[in-house]
């Protein structure tokens, strides 16, 4: 349906999401992925479905690749340690002149993940799977200073060293050779972080403002204006061809995103009035949540991060004590009160329901999940802190971030733990969270983060490997040789799913026993998200946190002024 779209064919989004970082290699599973999907393509991807429960919504399809490697097309051998990928012909960068996407761009994209600048949370997936990638990563870190590296240095390393498990046969064909059998390589290569990168990117430091101002597109749109002042416009990429893209469509002349610290209520009002079409970065108030029983995988959102690199929280007994104090039900009520229509459950384990290896686990039960300050106080005394503790908690300056921090700080106060809250802009917050040196320096003790599954199904590694392993999304720096060994065992057992799942579960139990983190809530957003009457058919991508697929959302056939007013339906 592409009827009269109203005054223009521009899709408008607004909300507290971030625009400062649109380098797909820096993807942290945030709302930016919704935008990078419009101008980056991966070897494999997901075709959004109107019903996200459809198996097709979570089954990777060829994107830049010509087909999914399988035994039928000689793309995978019996050992599942060698994947052959042929690129689809005639996909081009919007360079001048337009240039085909090649396997060299695929390799460059993966090499960029390994550098000292980005430290993307998804990197462990790749370094533990593709032969030679860990060595390339280690060599890269050793060769280039993380302090103010210049693009030339980075490009020199990348172009003078190879990842031995990436065999470029020619411009169109690449072989991925693996350290061990992996059944999820295709899903990994569908992550935004695995986007190919053109040679032009060698001139820029990954993730830098300069790079963000010079992004190249293979998708239906391309960023036109540098994302300054909280505003971004994507316009049609003239080089893109619909017949060469099985994943994305193009129904708009442009897509505009405006960063604004709006509450869910205000977002709902603007959507209802037609000022904007979709919320950006946080859901709008949802008065008609659709199908709350939708059986989709959940995210761990949020969880409490302990800085285990310094201070009292380096000790498991202290972490366990702190975890006991927290009233998770209060936090759940608080988030439910935002009215975003999300399905929310109190979390007591790391791997959320709907994901492989999820288990019913609650090693620190408290009545009604309201927390037990008395237990916290007693355990702290046992741990040598009879007079309580002073901790610093950082949180982003968003309403959910602020209210969550205040809530658990109040809980801890009841147990004699004094929490100093430090509010930071989201970009600064994540910069601090991801900087091990500043954690070691004790700049913070507590934080909150979230992690959503990057693929489904067969995603046993998705939570524990980045959250508990070396690097990745292990913001608190938790280390456990036992957990590391169990992660290795699970990864080595791809051919034995039952063994792998048992290892993941054991790893989770060990980490929970160590109180590596405190799971707070499991969450699944409302599907489909609230949208203006100008648009219809808002399919979501489960692998992108069930966010709206801006590449396939359509204009409604109803003229804007005749559409039912959202607020009238309350």
Q: Which of 199, 289, 497, 560 binds another protein (CB under 8 A)?
A: 497
- Report, in Å, the least distance between residue 183 CB and another protein: 11
DSSP per-residue string spanning 314-328: GSHHHHHHHHHH--H
- What residues from 279 to 298 belong to the interface with another protein (CB under 8 A)? none
Q: Distance (Å, rounded) from C-alpha 467 to C-alpha 313? A: 17
74 binds another protein (CB under 8 A): yes
What count of other Cβ atoms lies within 10 Å of the Cβ of residue 362? 13
Q: Which of 228, 420, 496, 569 binds another protein (CB under 8 A)?
A: 496
- Look at residue 382 and give its three-state secondary structure: helix
550 close to 277: Cβ distance less than 8 angstroms: no
Tokens at residue 505, please? 């579960």
Q: Distance (Å, rounded) from C-alpha 86 to C-alpha 95? A: 22
Tokens at residue 195, please? 């986007």
Q: Which of 481, 498, 561, 568 binds another protein (CB under 8 A)?
A: 498
Q: Which of 2, 79, 557, 564 binds another protein (CB under 8 A)?
A: 79
- What residues from 84 to 143 belong to the interface with another protein (CB under 8 A)? 84, 131
Q: Indicate the burial class of 20 (C-beta count within 10 angstroms; 0-12, 13-18, 19 or more).
A: middle
Tell me the C-alpha to C-alpha distance, in Å, between residue 345 and each of 181, 289, 521, 523. Answer: 35, 16, 6, 7
Residue with tokens 């930071």: 424
172 close to 135: Cβ distance less than 8 angstroms: no
Nearer to another protein, 180 or 345 (CB): 180
Nearer to another protein, 27 or 493 (CB): 493
- Report, in Å, the least distance between residue 50 CB and another protein: 31
Query: Contacts with another protein: how many residues (CB under 8 A)?
Result: 20
- Report, in Å, the least distance between residue 87 CB and another protein: 12
- Report, in Å, the least distance between residue 557 CB and another protein: 46
> What H or E segment, with its residue span, contains residue 374?
helix 373-382
Q: Which of 3, 7, 77, 365 binds another protein (CB under 8 A)?
A: 77
Tokens at residue 405, please? 């921090």
- Choose the binding region for another protein from 142-150, 296-304, 385-393, 494-502 (rule: CB under 8 A): 494-502
Tokens at residue 136, please? 């390339």
Nearer to another protein, 151 or 501 (CB): 501
- Choose the binding region for another protein from 71-79, 104-112, 115-123, 185-193 (rule: CB under 8 A): 71-79
Nearer to another protein, 168 or 413 (CB): 168
Nearer to another protein, 176 or 364 (CB): 176
DSSP per-residue string spanning 409-470: HHHHHHTTEEEEEEEE-HHHHHHHHT-HHHHHTTS-SEEEEEE--SS-SS-THHHHHHHHSS
- What residues from 247 to 276 belong to the interface with another protein (CB under 8 A)? none
Nearer to another protein, 422 or 502 (CB): 502
- Choose the binding region for another protein from 255-263, 375-383, 448-456, 495-503 (rule: CB under 8 A): 495-503
| Binding-site string for another protein from residue 165 to residue 184, where x marks contact by CB under 8 A and - marks none | x-x-xx--x-x-x-------
Could you tell me how far CA 89 lies from the centroid of its own chain?
29
DSSP per-residue string spanning 190-225: TSGGG----GGGGGS-TT-HHHHTT----SSEEE-S
- Report, in Å, the least distance between residue 500 CB and another protein: 12
Tokens at residue 233, please? 């416009």
Nearer to another protein, 175 or 536 (CB): 175
- Report, in Å, the least distance between residue 380 CB and another protein: 45
- Report, in Å, the least distance between residue 475 CB and another protein: 34
Nearer to another protein, 67 or 317 (CB): 67
Interface contacts to another protein, rule CB under 8 A: 71, 74, 77-79, 81-82, 84, 131, 165, 167, 169-170, 173, 175, 177, 495-498
């Amino acid at each position: 349906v592409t009827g009269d779209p109203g005054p223009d064919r521009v899709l408008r989004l607004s909300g507290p999401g971030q625009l400062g970082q649109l380098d797909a290699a820096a993807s942290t599973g945030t709302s930016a992925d919704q935008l990078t999907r419009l101008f980056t393509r991966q070897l494999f991807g997901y075709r959004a479905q109107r019903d996200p429960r459809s198996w097709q919504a979570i089954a990777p399809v060829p994107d830049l690749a010509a087909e999914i490697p399988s035994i039928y097309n000689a793309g995978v051998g019996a050992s599942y340690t060698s994947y052959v990928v042929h690129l689809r012909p005639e996909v081009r960068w919007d360079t001048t002149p337009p240039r085909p996407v090649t396997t060299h761009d695929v390799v460059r994209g993966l090499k960029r993940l390994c550098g000292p600048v980005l430290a993307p949370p998804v990197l462990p997936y790749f370094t533990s799977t593709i032969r030679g990638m860990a060595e390339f990563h280690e060599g890269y870190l050793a060769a280039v200073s993380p302090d103010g590296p210049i693009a030339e240095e980075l490009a020199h390393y990348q172009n003078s060293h190879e990842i031995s498990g990436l065999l470029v046969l020619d411009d169109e064909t690449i072989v991925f050779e693996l350290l061990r059998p992996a059944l999820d390589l295709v899903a990994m290569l569908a992550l935004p972080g695995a986007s190919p990168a053109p040679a032009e990117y060698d001139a820029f430091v990954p993730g830098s403002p300069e790079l963000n101002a010079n992004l190249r597109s293979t998708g239906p749109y391309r960023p036109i204006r540098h994302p300054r002042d909280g505003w971004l416009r994507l316009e049609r990429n003239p080089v893109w061809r619909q017949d060469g893209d099985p994943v994305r469509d193009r129904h708009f002349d442009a897509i505009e995103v405006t960063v604004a610290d709006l509450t869910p209520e205000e977002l709902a009002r603007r959507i209802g009035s037609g000022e904007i079409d979709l919320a950006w970065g946080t859901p709008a108030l949802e008065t008609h949540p659709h199908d709350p029983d939708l059986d989709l995988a959940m995210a761990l959102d949020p969880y409490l991060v302990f800085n285990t690199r310094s201070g009292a929280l380096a000790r498991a007994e202290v972490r366990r004590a702190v975890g006991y104090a927290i009233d998770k039900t209060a936090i759940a009520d608080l988030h439910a009160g935002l009215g975003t229509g999300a399905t929310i459950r109190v979390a007591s384990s790391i791997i959320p329901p709907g994901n492989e290896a999820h288990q019913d686990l609650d090693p620190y039960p408290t009545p009604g999940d309201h927390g037990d300050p008395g237990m916290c106080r007693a355990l702290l005394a046992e741990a040598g802190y009879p007079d309580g503790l002073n901790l610093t908690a950082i949180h982003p300056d968003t309403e959910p971030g602020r209210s969550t921090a205040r809530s658990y700080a109040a809980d801890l106060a009841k147990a004699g733990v004094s929490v100093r809250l430090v509010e930071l802009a989201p970009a600064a917050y994540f910069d601090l969270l991801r900087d091990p040196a500043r954690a070691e320096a004790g700049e913070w003790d507590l934080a909150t983060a979230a992690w959503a599954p990057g693929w489904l199904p067969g995603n046993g590694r998705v939570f524990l490997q980045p959250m508990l392993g070396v690097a990745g999304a292990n913001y608190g720096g938790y280390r456990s040789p036992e957990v590391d060994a169990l992660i290795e065992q699970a990864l080595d057992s791809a051919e034995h799913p039952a063994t792998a799942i048992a290892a993941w579960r054991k790893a989770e139990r060990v980490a929970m026993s160590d109180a590596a983190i405190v799971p707070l809530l499991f969450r699944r957003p409302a599907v489909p998200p609230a949208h203006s009457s100008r648009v219809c058919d808002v399919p979501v991508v489960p692998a992108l946190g069930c966010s709206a697929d801006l590449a396939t959302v359509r204009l409604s056939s109803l003229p804007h002024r005749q559409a039912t007013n959202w607020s009238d339906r309350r």
